[in-house]
Structure 1
């Protein structure tokens, strides 16, 4: 039988055995009963025609992500990205009683960096690393302003209880100094909505050192407390006295709605220093992030010391991560959906992604022109004496079993990067474009690690592999995704590829008013500033570097 998909026989049965083991037991237990003649089989492989092309991204949902970027990152391939934060703050206690004649001793801002423990010191204390969350090591300027723009909880243009979303506007078409967001109602300029300056640091460089706090009790006893690395500094006490302490018994401190309307939050504005900087991933949504007002007040007992207290404001309200992109090295554009692109540009924040159509166009199927997906079904599904596909218990019966399906993606080795291992820790995240969810292979992959995202989902999403010639590639396993097409008639044939530094983060961020098949992206791609370039599927790409999709199958030999 002559087909465009021509079987290539394995040279080693051992290779099939290894692939079957890697493919996990689920592949066989879920499909075995619906394959004809499984006890008598051959093995083989063939490629599937695919088309991959670029998709330029804009207007991405940027509110209430699980982490926030802050700083300036100079990508050696694309150019500069600046990330700032607008956030509400929420009192931990309403209707506070600060006592008589309260005086602020200090106001401390604490926002932990994402970190990991790498060792212990001679005293048994944890030694931390923030290298996975820090991009660059030059100083930035950080200014914190009062934000005067009200961040709504609900969208007034929608039905009751529909959340108000805010979207990125990073292209710099208005200007390249201010931070913007957009909604269905228009563009918001947060620089035009900023109030008092309450903090400024002209040379901020994040440190991986633990925060060491020492306190001395009234009897002279000293205690030491160690906390994880964090953005930690004192803020202007006079501002917070006027804002909080002086409002004792005022309704603005009685509930969250009143407070959000009274004090609309903070604007963390990052700026480059000498056109350079660093960018850090902040755990601003975590329980350890807060502003703490330390105060003292008169004791009710005459002649005794003052009473000490603290008042905590958390970052538990709305949060936005805004971006300014100055891509002066690469111009991002939408790609060629018909012929595919030679190179694929994957860039985080508001950048670019790739779309992979795994059954693109028509093929020669037994001498008849047929769509690629229909020819694929004919190749794998069993038919009855009338030539109709056999349906059993809601699934189609197969004559061939897919043991392994891999999308092979090569990295552009001509990229200008500062070192050979610059892209060592990059991960490629594949998702279902139609439904904006991870592929089914994601949930089948048992290699999860909640504490180490780089070593999580290794079977499905793999890791960057570099051979002895310096050529790097990624292998994305989509076995169950293809089986779902065969067994259940799934129509999800388009995959999205984005760059990610945290494949454990599976939430999706929508695109405002998308008029394309891509209506959202994995949120994990927004909270990384990094970028890379891959080879696409265009015929001008050399065969040994062209993106490909290979299937390894088991075939019945019974008549």
Structure 2
């Protein structure tokens, strides 16, 4: 698998991690050390119990996401050999101009759907043409920056998307889930819209990393020669699909002009009316052979633009009416829903930890026994560093980050909250002291390290430490900066903790829902090689 996500500034972050890991005093004892006492720094070697368990999430809420997936991606580690995940998508559209002025003599030049790719500009040649790398695209093609084809169809959606739930008297925000695909596939309106003869736009769709250049038009509204002097604008690479111009002329332009049917014309007075008339678009993908390509896209930056000519003066009946060039932009906004088709199955037992984004799987971690906590408390030590280490067994896409959170209370750990670190060139590695970033140890083994120093301090300092020793949740994440939660369609109840706490788990971090990747880690089973199983290490300071 080729993972085209490129982490800028990663070397800087790892250097910072190295410095912090060597400094066992980092944010540890502060004002707790007074006087001129001598202190010893030790590693706690007494038993540290750690237990892991896996959980398939089932369908997850997929409206309200900040990034969406589109395409086909490998799912073999979580669903059996040759298993893939199909990522479909549906979106509402919004008028950029209400009550557009459509004159007589309308001729549609083209209808173009565009969504920008995540990309990095590498260079500009002497003619001004930019060279780009595309980010956040996953493919079975092993050639760098080349992608295998998938089948992509865009339809007019016939399924109504609501912002609020009609079953709750429209008082509750409506939730849509990853397994809702049949609601859309069974409500397709008319034929496929991206029906251009160029198969790279439909039956053999391949992301294009070329810069998009728009050229000027002459006085007769014809495109001028494609020379540097005639360049009107340049844009970063983007998905550009030519849609059926006759369909959009009838369904949009003619309908907006229809003076004989004021009911139809009213659909263009505001977006609420427009969305009841044109419910949006549905993107459907299919695999071609054994190949796959999946993209992460910010559809909120996408639109459908209708380019058309019309009489400059309405109802001009002269022999040679003057024409004008116009555009009508339909922005992708409102409700957007990702729809995942996959099968997720994982073995039982705690020899491995299975983390899969989207409609996938997560894990739970339990630390300490009551006896161990009391032993540490009796030592009256000052915790200098507490970290969890996870070793990679195998992965899909090499998830660059995993995220640990308080699963009892569905919130971040204190270590996350107090970590101020950031990397302006790559926000994906912000909070790198808290960690969870993929790295290689001295032997080249892939691992993740997560610091929970302040969490452990708070547990030990509490008079009710069993209650503070919460169950921890572990997921893959696409963005460490977004720690909001999304609903699970099917709640599940976790076993009681030693404190007696019982949790009905009904939500999951949105960063996991957005992530297309998965990773299998070595777990906590006692039969595992100690160098591979999950490690829980504590360094402390003790007065001499």
TM-score normalised according to structure 1 size: 0.78
Partner SS for 2:492: coil
Shift of 1:205: 1.1
Contact 2:139 2:294 in 1 (8 A): yes
Q: Is 1:404 aligned to residue 379 of structure 2?
A: no
Q: Which residue of 1 aligns with 2:262?
A: none
| Map 1:367-386 → 2, pairs under 5 A | 372-376=372-376, 378-379=377-378
Partner SS for 2:168: coil
Q: Which residue of 2 aligns with 1:147?
A: 157
Partner SS for 1:442: helix
Change in 2 beyond 3 A, CA 1:103/1:535: same
Q: Is 1:296 aligned to residue 291 of structure 2?
A: no
| Map 1:327-406 → 2, pairs under 5 A | 331-332=345-346, 341-359=350-368, 361-363=369-371, 372-376=372-376, 378-379=377-378, 399-406=380-387
The whole-number CA distance in structure 1 between the counterparts of 2:413 and 2:121 is 31
Shift of 1:165: 0.6
Deviations 1:464-494 (A, max 9, x none): 2324544222111112222333446672622
Q: Which residue of 2 aligns with 1:45?
A: 43
Contact 2:307 2:325 in 1 (8 A): yes
Unaligned runs of 5+ in 1: 1-14, 170-179, 182-187, 364-371, 381-398
Shift of 1:534: 0.4
Change in 2 beyond 3 A, CA 1:373/1:115: farther
Contact 2:52 2:523 in 1 (8 A): yes
Shift of 1:362: 4.3
Q: Which residue of 1 aligns with 2:4?
A: none
The whole-number CA distance in structure 2 between the counterparts of 1:436 and 1:208 is 40
Change in 2 beyond 3 A, CA 1:441/1:322: same
**Count of aligned pairs between the two proteins:** 478
Shift of 1:75: 4.0
Contact 2:58 2:490 in 1 (8 A): no
Deviations 1:423-460 (A, max 9, x none): 3x622222222333332322333332354245433221
The whole-number CA distance in structure 2 between the counterparts of 1:426 and 1:130 is 17
Q: Is 1:60 aligned to residue 60 of structure 2?
A: yes
Contact 1:342 1:536 in 2 (8 A): yes
Q: Which residue of 2 aligns with 1:236?
A: 244
Partner SS for 1:506: coil
Q: Which residue of 1 aligns with 2:199?
A: none
Equivalent residue for 1:317, pick from 334, 337, 341: 334
Q: Which residue of 2 aligns with 1:367?
A: none
Change in 2 beyond 3 A, CA 1:222/1:118: closer
Q: Which residue of 2 aligns with 1:103?
A: 107
The whole-number CA distance in structure 1 between the counterparts of 2:525 and 2:290 is 36
Partner SS for 1:166: coil
Higher helix share: 2
Equivalent residue for 1:532, pick from 519, 526, 543: 519
Deviations 1:339-370 (A, max 9, x none): xx0111111221111111123x443xxxxxxx
| Map 1:159-174 → 2, pairs under 5 A | 161-169=171-179
Deviations 1:298-335 (A, max 9, x none): 122866631111111111110110111145xxx325x5
Shift of 1:140: 0.4
Contact 1:405 1:479 in 2 (8 A): yes
Q: Which residue of 2 aligns with 1:217?
A: 218
Change in 2 beyond 3 A, CA 1:38/1:482: farther
Between 240-249 and 217-226, the greater mean CA deviation after superposition: 217-226
Q: Which residue of 1 aligns with 2:98?
A: 94
Contact 1:61 1:165 in 2 (8 A): yes
Q: Which residue of 2 aligns with 1:274?
A: 289
| Map 1:496-511 → 2, pairs under 5 A | 496-511=473-488
Q: Which residue of 1 aligns with 2:278?
A: 263
The whole-number CA distance in structure 1 between the counterparts of 2:210 and 2:158 is 34
Contact 1:432 1:492 in 2 (8 A): no
The whole-number CA distance in structure 2 between the counterparts of 1:96 and 1:406 is 60
Q: Which residue of 2 aligns with 1:190?
A: 184
Shift of 1:207: 2.0
TM-score normalised according to structure 2 size: 0.80
Shift of 1:119: 3.7
Change in 2 beyond 3 A, CA 1:23/1:267: farther
Shift of 1:537: 1.0
Q: What RMSD over aligned residues (CA atoms) do the two structures have, in Å? A: 2.9
Q: Which residue of 2 aligns with 1:72?
A: 72
Contact 1:357 1:493 in 2 (8 A): yes
Contact 1:410 1:546 in 2 (8 A): yes
Partner SS for 1:216: coil
Q: Which residue of 2 aligns with 1:514?
A: 491
Partner SS for 1:248: helix
Change in 2 beyond 3 A, CA 1:224/1:70: same
The whole-number CA distance in structure 1 between the counterparts of 2:121 and 2:406 is 34
Shift of 1:20: 7.1
Q: Which residue of 2 aligns with 1:551?
A: 538
Change in 2 beyond 3 A, CA 1:95/1:281: same
Shift of 1:373: 4.3
